[in-house]
Chains A and B, each alone.
Chain A
Amino acid sequence: MKDNIIRAYGDTYNDGKIQLSFTLPVKQGLKAAEACKRYCFKLGLEDVEVVHMKDLKEGFTFFVVYAVSKKSVNFDKITVAKIDTEIMDYYKINDYIKEKINRKVNVVGACTGTDAHTVGLDAILNMKGYDGEYGLERYHEINTVNMGSQVANEKLIETAVKMKADAILVSQVVTQKNIHIKNLTEFVEILEAEGLRDQFILILGGPRISHELALELGFDAGFGSGTKPNEVASYIVQKVYKDSILVKGGE
């Protein structure tokens, strides 16, 4: 296979041009600009141009930077596990549940462990939803429980059992320290130890979550940044339906 090595594209193939913006906790001035440059060099960037610098007061400065990164990836070596269920909209999903599942679908979600970031969980579960797509609470055919942040694994499982959840949504910001990964594997281990693993569809979501990582950790599916609520709901209802046929031994 011919390798396809790629870099960021500005106006010339593989020029590696990127733009970034950030704030440093220092007063604006020549020294701040120099600090910004050096910081970018340390990030591995070259040809750093600080094109804009703004005093944010109280000892903070905002920067806009253009730079070059020589880092690259081999595009051909990348494989991605994909979720292949059909994506339906809010109305279709509700109809699908009524027609095929013929009962309400139960979903519980939480940010587990020490994680207090509920933006992703709320985007999927809250009525308001995300990017114009209603969240699961708004679906009249879905019973949704949003347990919020910093929920213990045991508590989440207890709730899931009590409400006879079809799917458990775990939202997590995976940090570099990987403490969250440990928490996620522990979650799956508890379910397995108690013989509950097969009762639930396990879904993992978060800004650094890929479907592949989710599978690796023992979940059924993973959703990353930009996922809309109906994508998650589509997956859940089709999986619930498919599993019910398996149990019944076909229609």
Chain B
Amino acid sequence: MNNKLDLDQKLISLCRNYTKSIADKVEKKIVNNTTTSVERTILRFLGVDGVDNHGIPLPNVIVDKVRNEQRLNKGISYWFGNGLMQTGLPAQRLAEEISEGKIDLFSLYKEKNEDIKEHILKLSEKKAEQIKQQVKKREMMQSKYPLGLKPWLYVIVATGNINEDVKQAKAAAREGADIIAVIRSTAQSLLDYVPYGPTTEGFGGTYATQANFKIMREALDQVIKEEERYIQLVNYCSGLAMPEIAQMGAEERLDMMLNDAMYGILFRDINMKRTFVDQHFSRMINAYAGIVINTGEDNYLTTADSLKESHTVVASQFINQELGLRTGLKNGQLGLGHAFEINPEIKDSFLLEIAQAQLVRQIFPDAPLKYMPPTKYMNGDIFRGHLMDGMFNFASIITDQSIQLLGMSTEAIHTPFIQDRALSIENAKHVFNSARNISSEITFKSNGKIQKRADQVLKETAELLKVIAEKGLMKSLSEGIFADIKRPIDGGKGADGVIKKDSDYFNPFAEVFSKELEIQDER
């Protein structure tokens, strides 16, 4: 890997300096806030689950009760913790009684802050221990049933019915897929709650629920034992319920989560503050649970010009990395995203793709990079599409990518048929096997087309990061710096779920996690 592109190392450290100042400013803006979804996550970790008579999840019912009284600023831990102490009930029972109106949290006798905190920290440490057990279980399984060679083959199932997903996922895993992602139902990211129970109806995907996570995990664990190969499970930790989904993933031993710092803002029009607060706690959970996150920079290229906007991808990767490291994620957990999306009709487009892929490989040597397939220039010609996917796979093995989201020749036509997925797995296996060691056999011509293109993108990245560092990330986003999409600082969905913290606010799980993850800046 070393320095095939002969990159200007000084320029890379300059980029890191800009990024640090960008992250500093973001942190300042979020440190005094919590959100309704963060508070719901705390309840879920404490063992509150299920729905009320109207089908509303209990964590929502309780957090909303406290918020409606304008008392969420102290944190749900204070109110619920006190409730647990006063009633002696288990968390779920207490939640049910509150939801049925039998217990009023506000009229209970109030213990001293320190005592509630001590009580709830103990419960949190217990839960943290359970998550650690899941991490250990993953490690044990991976030592017994090793992971496949990188780039890992990542495929998607999206039937809408968890039982059908299981069939397709098992078939794909047996065909050779290393990673199974269950696509979520359209617009789940805009639900300000997590649906409950197993689901069999969804549009363009399957709802992320804790029950569905469990069903798929159990199915894949069975395949792992039969195939003697570890299969990783992925879901989507994004949208308005982002931290709750992180909690579910941590408890059900998912291996990866799509978890971008800015995706929700740009592509789902979610409020910036809400997103940054939510992503911070979600990532802390993912970090603690040993989950690899996948960032979504590939999306920039599908909406903006992929040739002109290459540097925005790298800039965003720097930002995602810095914000991620600050939540306790290690470099090995940062699946920074990028994509093979340059117009294939452009002369030497393949060389440009290699320049970009090698560039990010060298800037982030320890990150399990997530490489996304061509989608934008796919059309109904499945034969051409299959060839493009082959070129994409070839670029990946040349540049040592880590997570290969397999392209489907029918990308522009329908969600994959079973044979589409099998053919794309075959395609990737063929290319990876026949060029397995190519990256250690080749060097790039000094000052050739590939090196020059990489230099240019790096230079543009540094210039862009400088501008963002001066303006601040939020203002930059409001001016459409990424993906040509502008979002107002105070606009977007979920803004009303951002809550100012009181001086005695506390989040017991953030405290437990950050202590063990050795995060400095957490209050």
A-to-B contact residues, CB < 8 Å = 21-23, 54, 56-58, 60, 62, 116-119, 123, 127-132, 138, 148-150, 225-226
Whether B145 is near chain A, meaning CB under 8 Å from some CB there, is no
**In whole Å, how far is A226's beta carbon from the nearest beta carbon of chain B?**
5
A56 B422 Cβ-Cβ under 8 A:
yes
Instruction: Report B-chain residues with C-beta under 8 Å of the C-beta of A57.
Output: 170-171, 174-175
Instruction: Report B-chain residues with C-beta under 8 Å of the C-beta of A23.
Output: 417-419
Whether B343 is near chain A, meaning CB under 8 Å from some CB there, is yes
B303 A149 Cβ-Cβ under 8 A:
no
Which of B174, B343, B417, B418 counts the most A-chain CB atoms under 10 A from its CB?
B418
CA distance A148 to B204 in the complex (A): 11
A130 B379 Cβ-Cβ under 8 A:
yes
Whether B378 is near chain A, meaning CB under 8 Å from some CB there, is yes
**In whole Å, how far is B305's beta carbon from the nearest beta carbon of chain A?**
10
Instruction: Report B-chain residues with C-beta under 8 Å of the C-beta of A130.
Output: 379, 412
Name the one of B204, B343, B380, B419 contacting A62, with C-beta atoms under 8 angstroms: B419
Known: A118-B186, A132-B343, A138-B303. A56 touches B412 (CB 8 A): no
Q: Is the interface of B mostly helix, strand, loop or mixed?
A: loop
CA distance A128 to B300 in the complex (A): 10
CA distance A76 to B187 in the complex (A): 48
B377 A58 Cβ-Cβ under 8 A:
no
B378 A62 Cβ-Cβ under 8 A:
no
CA distance A119 to B410 in the complex (A): 11
CA distance A128 to B413 in the complex (A): 14
Interface string of B374-416 (1 = CB under 8 A from A): 0111111000000000000000000000000000000011110
Instruction: Report A-chain residues with C-beta under 8 Å of the C-beta of B187.
Output: 148
Instruction: List 5 contacting pairs A-B, 8 Å CB cutoff, sorted by A.
Output: A58-B174, A118-B203, A131-B378, A149-B186, A226-B379
**In whole Å, how far is B451's beta carbon from the nearest beta carbon of chain A?**
27
Whether B163 is near chain A, meaning CB under 8 Å from some CB there, is no
CA distance A138 to B167 in the complex (A): 37
Instruction: Report A-chain residues with C-beta under 8 Å of the C-beta of B134.
Output: none
Interface string of B353-382 (1 = CB under 8 A from A): 000000000000000000000011111100
CA distance A109 to B48 in the complex (A): 41
Whether B21 is near chain A, meaning CB under 8 Å from some CB there, is no
Which chain A residue lies CB-closest to B301? A128
Name the one of B186, B376, B380 contacting A128, with C-beta atoms under 8 angstroms: B376
Other A-B contacts than A62-B418, A131-B379, 16 sampled, CB-CB below 8 A, are A21-B419, A23-B417, A54-B422, A57-B171, A58-B167, A58-B170, A58-B174, A119-B412, A128-B376, A129-B376, A130-B412, A131-B378, A138-B484, A148-B186, A149-B186, A225-B380
Whether B200 is near chain A, meaning CB under 8 Å from some CB there, is no
B204 A56 Cβ-Cβ under 8 A:
no
CA distance A80 to B204 in the complex (A): 34
A123 B412 Cβ-Cβ under 8 A:
yes
CA distance A132 to B419 in the complex (A): 25
CA distance A56 to B423 in the complex (A): 10
Whether B92 is near chain A, meaning CB under 8 Å from some CB there, is no
B375 A128 Cβ-Cβ under 8 A:
yes
A-B pairs, top 8 by smallest CB distance, nearest first, are A131-B379, A57-B174, A58-B171, A127-B303, A128-B302, A62-B419, A132-B377, A23-B419
Instruction: Report A-chain residues with C-beta under 8 Å of the C-beta of B175.
Output: 56-57
CA distance A132 to B412 in the complex (A): 11
Interface string of B147-179 (1 = CB under 8 A from A): 000000000000000000001001100110000
CA distance A67 to B376 in the complex (A): 34
B171 A119 Cβ-Cβ under 8 A:
no
Instruction: Report A-chain residues with C-beta under 8 Å of the C-beta of B203.
Output: 116, 118, 148-150
Q: Give the residues from 414 to 450 in chain B that come closer than 8 angstroms, CB to CB, to chain A.
A: 414-415, 417-419, 422-423
Instruction: Report B-chain residues with C-beta under 8 Å of the C-beta of A131.
Output: 377-379, 412
B413 A60 Cβ-Cβ under 8 A:
no
**In whole Å, how far is A235's beta carbon from the nearest beta carbon of chain B?**
20
Known: A56-B175, A130-B412. A226 touches B380 (CB 8 A): yes
Name the one of B204, B415, B419, B422 contacting A22, with C-beta atoms under 8 angstroms: B419
B422 A62 Cβ-Cβ under 8 A:
yes
Q: Give the residues from 176 to 190 in chain B that come closer than 8 angstroms, CB to CB, to chain A.
A: 186-187
A132 B186 Cβ-Cβ under 8 A:
no
**In whole Å, how far is A151's beta carbon from the nearest beta carbon of chain B?**
12
Instruction: Report A-chain residues with C-beta under 8 Å of the C-beta of B170.
Output: 57-58
**In whole Å, how far is A196's beta carbon from the nearest beta carbon of chain B?**
28
Which chain A residue lies CB-closest to B345? A132
Which chain B residue lies CB-closest to A23? B419
CA distance A119 to B422 in the complex (A): 21
Name the one of B186, B302, B418 contacting A60, with C-beta atoms under 8 angstroms: B418
CA distance A161 to B437 in the complex (A): 61
**In whole Å, how far is A120's beta carbon from the nearest beta carbon of chain B?**
9
Instruction: Report B-chain residues with C-beta under 8 Å of the C-beta of A148.
Output: 186-187, 203
**In whole Å, how far is B347's beta carbon from the nearest beta carbon of chain A?**
16
Name the one of A60, A116, A128, A226 contacting B303, with C-beta atoms under 8 angstroms: A128
**In whole Å, how far is B54's beta carbon from the nearest beta carbon of chain A?**
23
CA distance A129 to B412 in the complex (A): 10
Instruction: Report A-chain residues with C-beta under 8 Å of the C-beta of B419.
Output: 21-23, 56, 62
Instruction: Report B-chain residues with C-beta under 8 Å of the C-beta of A225.
Output: 380
Instruction: Report A-chain residues with C-beta under 8 Å of the C-beta of B302.
Output: 127-128
Which chain A residue lies CB-closest to B167? A58
Instruction: Report A-chain residues with C-beta under 8 Å of the C-beta of B174.
Output: 57-58
